[in-house]
Amino acid sequence: MHELPRAGDIVELSMEAIAPNGKGKGSSRAAGSEKLSFFVARTAPGDVITACVTGARKRYVEAELVEVIEASRLRVEPICPHYDECGGCQVMHLSYAAQLDAKREIVRYILARHGFDRELAGPVVASPSELRYRLRSKLFLTPELTPGLRAWRSHRVVPIRQCFQMHTELERGLLGAARFAPEMLASRSPVATLLGVCDLGSGRVLLQAGAAGEDAPRIAGWFTVDEKGAHGETQPLCRVQAAGFDLQYAPDCFTQVNADANDLLVAHAVQAMAVRPTDSVLELFSGIGNFTLPLATRARSVTAVEWPRATRFAKDNAKKAGLSNIAHLGKDVVDALRDLTGRQIRFDRALLDPPREGLGETGCNLLSEAAPQRIVYVSCEPTTLAADLASLTRQSYRLVSVTPFDMFPQTFHVETCAIMDKE
Ligand SMILES: C[S@@+](CC[C@H](N)C(=O)[O-])C[C@H]1O[C@@H](n2cnc3c(N)ncnc32)[C@H](O)[C@@H]1O
């Protein structure tokens, strides 16, 4: 039996991989510690480092980087001056090719942990832009209204002067608006956050402030700013092109933050659906129509399920595109599945794109009752994806492939598109 290291111990480690939580995973060079995994942020596979232990469990140890003794050849100099402190870009110290390899390994590892063949995960589809891809970001403000981002896994605000994830227009609009944030609040509470959404249609940045200590801040609406101050927007609408369609939406609706990578994802997912002109398609978590419209041009009909708020925009977007074969169900996904399967309605194909929580066991069972021959599952959280894929496997679906997409360069987050077929 090896002895567990204690907080404060300095250990020498060989780093081997990037773990699903974005930290580097390594093992100790000391004899007898082979079975322990060490997790150390901001390390690269191939590094030899010293680290200071911060906590130890039965099988793994958390530690903080002290010194890189031998630097991995996968390392690059992070371009951002805030990298050391800011929690936003956890893998900016890896070359872009190494980031993509690390994300593929994360997906493979999670698949294997859920009993799937790790080889089913293909190479990661790169983002067209490695930097300046974000069209939506939230800043945290200090009491003096200095704009910042949070340190990694901490509430501490790190003041920033720039952010290489943000689209240039978004960076300029958000950072420049921080001093006007109190004008955007409905209450006199201290302002804590500032959300910005860049409207590619007009180049404007729409802004919304959040008050400190309010989980659901009383929203005073959306604003734009100029040198004179903040101005309320009576019609806060944004536009984005997705897969050749013009989509209009309110800034509080979900849209992918990386429009160029989204185009690649939509093209891949729609092709993966292999829709025939006679097919009826079920789409769950359909948002403002990102996948719905290209699917509707190929299918006999699409039934799109989404909360009422975004459904309103999805309907308008379909109408503008001249598509009349979409049934919009503005309700909870599981309720809609219960209703559809209760009425014995069946589908030829299904596409789902849930939030981080996934669809869940009940939803997966109901989805399988709708009996689509093929399911395409788009996900931003590989662990809930794998759990849902495992549920669907128990309902006679077979995993065909998983294609990871780099929607969020410089971070450890990974988007995936999985294909399942009915056995
Ligand atoms: C990851 S987004 C995907 C949206 C869309 N597919 C896209 O590509 O833009 C998840 C969507 O699910 C919706 N949503 C979350 N939970 C839901 C539920 N229980 N019922 C219906 N819609 C839900 C959200 O409003 C959001 O639009």
Show the 3-state SS of the chain: CCCCCCCCCEEEEEEEEECCCCCEEEEECCCCCCCCEEEECCCCCCCEEEEEEEEECCCEEEEEEEEEEECCCCECCCCCCCCCCCCCCCCCCECHHHHHHHHHHHHHHHHHHCCCCHHHECCCECCCCCCCCECEEEEEECCCCCEEEECCCCCCEEECCCCCCECHHHHHHHHHHHHHHHHHECCCCCEEEEEEEECCCCCCEEEEEEECCCCCCCECCCEEEECCEEEECCCCCEEEEECCEEEEECCCCCCCCCHHHHHHHHHHHHHHHCCCCCCEEEEECCCCCCCHHHHHCCCCEEEEEECHHHHHHHHHHHHHCCCCCEEEEECCHHHHHHHHHHCCCCCCEEEECCCCCCCHHHHHHHHHHCCCCEEEEEECCHHHHHHHHHHHHHCCEEEEEEEEECCCCCCCCCEEEEEEEEC
With CA atoms as reference, report the closest residue to 217 among 310, 144, 138, 134.
138
With CA atoms as reference, report the closest residue to 243 among 224, 229, 256.
256
pTM of the model: 0.96
- Decide whether any atom of ligand 1 lies within 6 Å of the 286 Cβ: yes
- Decide whether any atom of ligand 1 lies within 6 Å of the 283 Cβ: no
380 in active site: yes
Give the CATH number of domain 258-422: 3.40.50.150
Parallel/antiparallel/unpaired status of strands 48-56 and 10-18 = antiparallel
Sign (positive or negative) of CA dihedral 192, 161, 197, 353: negative
The number of the ligand 1 atom at minimal distance from the alpha carbon of 283 is: 6
Rounded to the nearest angstrom, the distance between the alpha carbon of 285 and the centre of ligand 1 is 4
CATH 3.40.50.150 domain position(s) in the chain:
258-422
Q: Take atom 12 of ligand 1 and give the residue whose Cα is closest.
A: 285
Q: What is the pLDDT of residue 99?
A: 98
Q: Is 345 exposed, middle or buried (0-12, 13-18, 19+ CB in 10 A)?
A: middle
Rounded to the nearest angstrom, the distance between the alpha carbon of 353 and the centre of ligand 1 is 7
- Divide the 423 residues of the chain into consecutive groups of 10 and give the mean pLDDT of each group: 83 96 90 80 98 92 97 98 96 98 98 98 98 97 94 92 97 95 84 93 92 64 92 92 94 96 98 98 98 98 98 98 98 98 98 98 98 97 98 97 98 98 96
CATH 2.40.50.140 domain position(s) in the chain:
10-70
Residue 166 dihedral angles phi and psi, to the nearest 5°: -75, 140
Q: What is the pLDDT of residue 219?
A: 62
Rounded to the nearest angstrom, the distance between the alpha carbon of 277 and the centre of ligand 1 is 26
Determine the Cα–Cα distance for residues 393 and 421; give it in Å rounded to an integer: 10
Q: What is the pLDDT of residue 163?
A: 98
- Decide whether any atom of ligand 1 lies within 6 Å of the 290 Cβ: yes
Look at domain 10-70 and name its CATH class: mainly beta
